[in-house]
Amino acid sequence: MFAGATLKPEYYKEKVNLFVALAPIAFMSNTTAKPFKWASKYWKLLQATTKKMGIYDVVAPGWAEDQAYETFCKVLGGFCEEYIKILMDLNPDVDNWSRMNVYNANAPAGAGYRTIVHYAQEIQSAHFARFDHGTKKNMELYGAYTPPDYDLSKFDVPTALILGSLDKLSNPADDSILKRVIADKVVFSQSYPLGHASFGIAKDMSWFSGDVVDVINKYKTNDSQALF
């Protein structure tokens, strides 16, 4: 959303009357998510390896993969839980752990390798910038050896920032940078004691039924019945 609305600001301004950003990702230099911190150090090797092996979808969804993952977790349940906590930033103190069987039925769900590499690049560069293809390709695409930053001065969408104080991926320090850069477009901002995955599986979802629903109703532009 942040990328799209800076590249095509007129389009997004016309189409979107409110952006509710749950645990938003933009700046990432302060992330404490260990898998992504590791990837940031070796993103060039990661990209070269995935391209060489033809792995363009990381942990791709599929029957065989799902069965293997389910069997592995049944045999090594404790290890699996710790892996999920680290990779998906789940926190048993705030997340509904009793629903993990439902969560696991749809996770991991796959991700394009360039998404992972792009995150790694942003952690390393401390910039919210376009994808780094290497100097030659960058020059072809961007007219510069290094990828340009997304120009957030062009971002023109009313935004509600819904943040997590326990979020390792979308770290509060990075959230503060984002909030400062788009300050004139922020119509609501609140931080809750949630991790990154908590926005979908928290024990207490009152932040959504309360604050999020309120701000959506405030900015709705049609005559349909108010949400909730």
In tens, the pLDDT along 113-148 reads: 788 888 889 999 999 999 999 999 999 999 999 999
Q: Is 128 in contact with 134 (CB distance < 8 Å)?
A: no
Indicate whether 82 belongs to any domain.
Answer: no
Indicate whether 77 belongs to any domain.
Answer: no
| Cα gap 85→95, rounded to integer Å | 10
- In the chain, how many domains are there? 1
What is the value of pTM for the model shown?
Answer: 0.81
| Cα gap 4→135, rounded to integer Å | 23
Indicate whether 143 belongs to any domain.
Answer: no
* Buried b / exposed e along 142-165 (16+ C-beta atoms within 10 A): beeeebeebebeebbbbbbbbbbe
Nearest to 195 by CA among 168, 161, 162, 175: 168
Indicate whether 205 belongs to any domain.
Answer: yes
pLDDT of residue 68: 57
15, 65, 159, 187, 218 from 221: Cα distances, Å: 11, 43, 15, 16, 9
Q: What is the Cα 124 distance to its own chain's centre?
A: 17
Q: What is the domain extent for residue 214?
A: 1-27+150-220
- Calculate the average pLDDT of the chain: 84
Indicate whether 121 belongs to any domain.
Answer: no
Q: How many CA atoms lie within 13 A of 119 on its CB side?
A: 20
What is the pLDDT averaged over residues 21-42? 86
Q: Is 193 in contact with 94 (CB distance < 8 Å)?
A: yes
| Cα gap 216→228, rounded to integer Å | 10
Q: What is the largest CA-CA distance in the chain?
A: 53
Indicate the pLDDT class of residue 205, thresholds 50, 70 and 90: very high
pLDDT of residue 106: 67
pLDDT at 228 over 60: no
Nearest to 128 by CA among 178, 88, 94: 178
pLDDT at 64 over 80: no
| Cα gap 57→67, rounded to integer Å | 18
Indicate the pLDDT class of residue 90, thresholds 50, 70 and 90: confident
Residue 205 is part of a domain; what is its CATH number?
A: 3.40.50.1820
Indicate whether 83 belongs to any domain.
Answer: no
Indicate whether 76 belongs to any domain.
Answer: no
Indicate the pLDDT class of residue 69, thresholds 50, 70 and 90: low
- Indicate the helix (H) or strand (E) that contains 78: helix 77-88
Backbone torsions φ then ψ of 203, nearest 5 degrees: -65, -40
In tens, the pLDDT along 157-193 reads: 999 999 999 998 899 999 999 999 999 999 999 999 9
Indicate the pLDDT class of residue 85, thresholds 50, 70 and 90: low
Indicate whether 225 belongs to any domain.
Answer: no
